[in-house]
A = this chain, B = another copy of it.
Amino acid sequence: MSNPVLVEVRRGSVVESRHRGAVAVCDGSGRLVLSIGDVERPVFPRSAVKSIQALPFVESGAADAFGFGNREIALACSSHSGEPEHVNLAASMLERAGLDQSALECGAHWPSGQHAMIDLARSGAEPCPLHNNCSGKHSGFLCTCVHTGLDRHGYVSKDHEFQKLVRAALEDVTGAAHDVDTCGTDGCSIPTYAVPLQSLALGFARMATGEGLSPERAKAASRIFAACMAEPFLVAGTGRVDTKIMEAGKGRLFTKTGAEGVFCAAIPELGLGIALKCDDGATRAAEIMVMATLASLLPAEDPLRAALVEMANPVLKNWRGIEVGSLRPAGPVQLG
């Protein structure tokens, strides 16, 4: 089965490239409100489920014990651009738990934000694990281990007690088995499990509504979503799509990108969860898909819908700033 083309890249009047994908939208009861393409094929959500992976951090009381608020919780759910605000906050989280960056097992890479990368290079410094886009999540993991008395060493391994907690939360929220057969290793060394888009959409509807979750888990989920929507810069960074959507949404939209063209999202006021993947793994296309899908679910007269439609139709400029083309939603996510 071939998923439909959902995004076209135009240059002049010609469609230069095409991106296919699948989209699932569920309510908290598991009803599929929208289904495009194959929503049953297992997909690695990668970083798109960081908010679910952050449940033990909040539920265990670790976040409260270390005096963390929205900022730290948002960073624990982030794929950040490695800007100084992200790096410094991750460092301060570790410090509260009596640790430093040497405890991080995510590996180091240059900041994913180009400005941050250039600034770091100019300073003469080298990137460290704090610059890894997952350092906030890992800091949350480490704080949870310290607070709950788990040995923090090897906390990234799928057989570590802490990752078993994370996996149990993922299974509970999505309702999907997270099996060793469909387990891969993520860029930051933790396990990632391939599950159907439909299950991920259900999971995000449950995170948004609390439906089907224990009262404690529902409360933690609500707090995590509120933190991310209150601090969109800390979830991503300058110019990034998660930041822009959540800034525009002003508490009405939750979105989170994952590597290889994945997005998980929710519209809490409608009780809907969204999960999508661009077949070829392109972030540029998955961004258009999530904006177009969110827009299509909002009422026609909602100004937020208009803002999303505009963001979903970006112009492409060349190195001299000349307009050369555009990206736009196509086929089933095309906007009227």
Name A residues whose Cβ lies closer than 8 Å to a Cβ of B.
2, 9, 11-14, 16-20, 42-44, 105-110, 114, 117-118, 121-122, 124, 132, 181-189, 192, 194, 260-261, 278-282, 285, 318-322, 324-325
CB proximity of A196 to chain B, nearest CB, Å: 12
The complex is assembled from copies of this chain, and their number is: 2
Asked whether, in the complex, the Cβ of A281 is within 8 Å of the Cβ of B16, the reply is: yes
Q: How far is the CB of A14 from chain B (nearest CB, A)?
A: 5
Say how far A105's CB is from chain B's closest CB, in angstroms.
8
| Min CB–CB distance A317 → chain B (angstroms) | 9
Min C-beta distance of A95 to chain B, whole Å:
23
Measured CA separation A9–B114 after assembly (Å): 26
Q: Which residues of B contact A12 (CB under 8 A)?
A: 182-185
B319 A187 Cβ-Cβ under 8 A: yes
Bound CA–CA A209/B255 (angstroms): 54
Contact B318 A107 (CB under 8 A): yes
Q: Which B residue's beta carbon lies closest to that of A106? A: B319
| B132 touching A319, Cβ below 8 Å | yes
Q: Give the top 4 A-B pairs by smallest Cβ distance, nearest first.
A: A107-B319, A12-B184, A17-B281, A121-B121
B118 touches A189 (CB 8 A): no
Residue picked from A11, A117, A192, most chain B C-beta under 10 Å: A11
